[in-house]
Structure 1
Amino acid sequence: MSHRNRPQPLLVTEPIRRVEAGPWAIELLPGCAYSARYVATHAAIGFAFDSQRGLHAIGSDRVHPFVATPNSLAFVPAGCDVLSESSDGGEYLRVIHTEGMEWMGDRAFNNRIDPQAITLALRMRSALLRASLDDDWEVWAFALAERAKEHDALSAPLQGSITHSRMRLLDEFIDAGLEDPLSVQAMAGVLELSEGYFMRAFKSATGKSPHSYLIDRRLAKARARLRDSTASLSEIALTCGFNSQAHMATAFKQRLGVSPAQLRRG
């Protein structure tokens, strides 16, 4: 879950992107290994774009494994003692109200799936990757805080659906086969589920379709390779499962609002 003063990674990663708007500080943390221990000086809302696993202790002295569900909300209240570490991390949006968010309560949570929060987080990520004078940060940040406050937001997937262990198995299958075409039928088969049931359960668990999630995994790998290798864009496209450099560029523009070349330039 929460985050995150990260150590210097071994590989070159995307920079931490940050904007300040009124009482809000918004950060986009790149997917990389991290280890952090701190007391939260301000309440923070988080959004995990990727699956993430590691160890944490949130408001407790008990350290235990955690799994962050992709496309999920989290919240850490002010004054909460936080220990969190992950060997690979995952892209993460953090929104802090520097003047306090007492109305958010004092209970930490993670793994809430909320369709409106997903839409807001994706919009904010795209804006952080390509800053514009038209960005309405205060409105977006407040709206995300309102979604985190909602009590009817869904929590982590239940047993019998897409459990954390099944999600890990699926991630490993996808990452091992990213260079090749991967069908929804194949992903369902890995979990020994029918295709129809798998599609419904996955959407309920992550807020996205399996196909959309597969594109997210391809983009995440491509973004990492843009920074940690000197491979050409066409080589990166093919090793990440895109049909061509043009196909990859289209996915970047549609999902992130920037081109691969723009991200590589930094």
Structure 2
Amino acid sequence: MVFMSYRNRLPPSRPSEPVRRIEAGPWAIELLPGCAYAARYVATQAAIGFAFDSQRGVHAIGSDRVQPFEAMPNGLAFVPAECDVFSESPGGGEYLRVMRTDGFPLVGDRAFNNRIDQQAIALARRMRGALLRASIEDDWEAWALGLAERTMDNLALSTPPPGSITGNRMRLLDEFIDAGLDGPLSVPAMAGLLGLSEGYFMRAFKHATGKSPHSYLIDRRLAKARALMRDSTAGLAQIAHTCGFNSQAHMATVFRQRLGVSPGQLRRSSRD
């Protein structure tokens, strides 16, 4: 969810992946791990956010009353300077946060989140991979500027069409997927859960999240594997089986493709 700060995150009840941060030129980029948080502040500077996971909680933005929020995966977000923010979530989710450190204002005069933008998705994934590798030689300034440019289009978000993937439907899908991650999960089964045809479901899901149902399922398997690597002493082969990967080698291949780092490297870096 957009309106969070790692400084306000609650002490974890279990070990958590570290906050990964890098400063490059006028930019500060942070990758916040999925964990509970509670934030209440007035933003001193504008910030760009990108939610990699579904996130749920309550928030109040500016003069709005406190209400539930449902952050969609792959959602681009923006919070302007001087915005009064309250937000909390019992689980949070992996989140990228980008700010300028030189006082130069980021363009934008209103808060938004859940904007699906394919260029922003590609940039955010590239930045996450570089942060997980602890790389300092990547093109950080160009990536940060490119992400900032994706917040400049202030066109109103279109009203979701009937049958679209709403926050409540995303919650049902997440619960269904998480309960069956150790076995095969099919698009027809996910579509049937929502009472939609397979074709309509695939189009609606891509419109809502910027990714295909199959790609999202892989991301959920990755998220579960990372949680088990962090919270348990189970071997990588056992984790791969529990998360529905064909083998440990298959899981390692997906980790490298999606995150740019192997399971073993990520587990060691989290412990360090």
Shorter-chain TM-score above 0.5: yes
Q: Could you tell me whether the CA contact under 8 Å between 1:42 and 1:98 is conserved in 2?
A: no
Distance in 2 (CA, whole Å) between partners of 1:103 and 1:134 is 24
The match for 1:132 among 130, 135, 142 is 135
Q: Match for residue 259 of structure 2?
A: 256
> Structure 1 158/97 Cα, relative in aligned 2: closer, same or farther at 3 Å?
farther
Instruction: Give a deviation string over 1:238-264, Cα, whole Å, max 9, x none.
Output: 111111111110110000000110111
Cα deviation, 1:43-81, whole Å, max 9, x if unaligned, reads 000000000000111112621100101101111111111
Aligned to 2:107: 104
Kindly tell me: are residues 110 and 168 of structure 1, through their superposed partners in 2, closer, same or farther at Cα, counting changes over 3 Å? same
Partner of 1:65: 68
Match of 2:4 in 1: 3
**Counterpart secondary structure, 2:135:** coil
Q: CA deviation at 1:165?
A: 1.2
Structure 1 length normalisation: TM-score?
0.96
| Structure 2 residue 223 is matched with structure 1 residue 211 | no
Flag structure 2 segments of 5+ consecutive residues without an equivalent: none
Contact 1:7 1:35 in 2 (8 A): yes
Give the Cα separation in 2 of the matches to 1:30 and 1:102.
Answer: 26
Q: How far off is 1:13 after superposition?
A: 1.1
SS at match of 1:62: coil
Aligned mates of 1:210, 1:136 — CA distance in 2: 30
What is the aligned partner in structure 2 of residue 193 from structure 1? 196
2:151 aligned counterpart, secondary structure: helix
Tell me the SS of whatever aligns to 2:99: strand
TM-score, reference length from structure 2: 0.94
Alignment partners' CA distance in 1, 2:15 and 2:176: 26
Q: How does 1:158-177 map to 2 (within 5 A)?
A: 158-177=161-180
Secondary structure of 1:160's aligned partner? coil
Please state if 1:29 is matched with 2:40. Answer: no
**Paired positions, count:** 266
Change (3 A) 1:57 1:121: same
Range with greater deviation from structure 2 (12-21 or 157-166): 157-166
> For residues 244 and 87 of structure 2, what CA distance do their matches in structure 1 show?
32
| Offset from partner CA, 1:199-226 (integer Å, 9 cap, x none) | 1110011000000000000101111111
TM alignment of 1:41-52, pairs within 5 A: 41-52=44-55
Q: Distance in 1 between matches of 2:104 and 2:71?
A: 23
SS in 2 for 1:37: strand
Deviation at 1:131, TM superposition (A): 2.7
Matched AA of 1:212: S
Q: Is the 8 A contact 2:32 2:95 kept in 1?
A: yes
Q: Distance in 1 between matches of 2:156 and 2:148?
A: 12
In the alignment, the residues of structure 2 paired with residue 258 and residue 13 of structure 1 have an alpha-carbon distance, to the nearest angstrom, of 18
What is the Cα-based RMSD across aligned positions, in Å?
Answer: 1.5
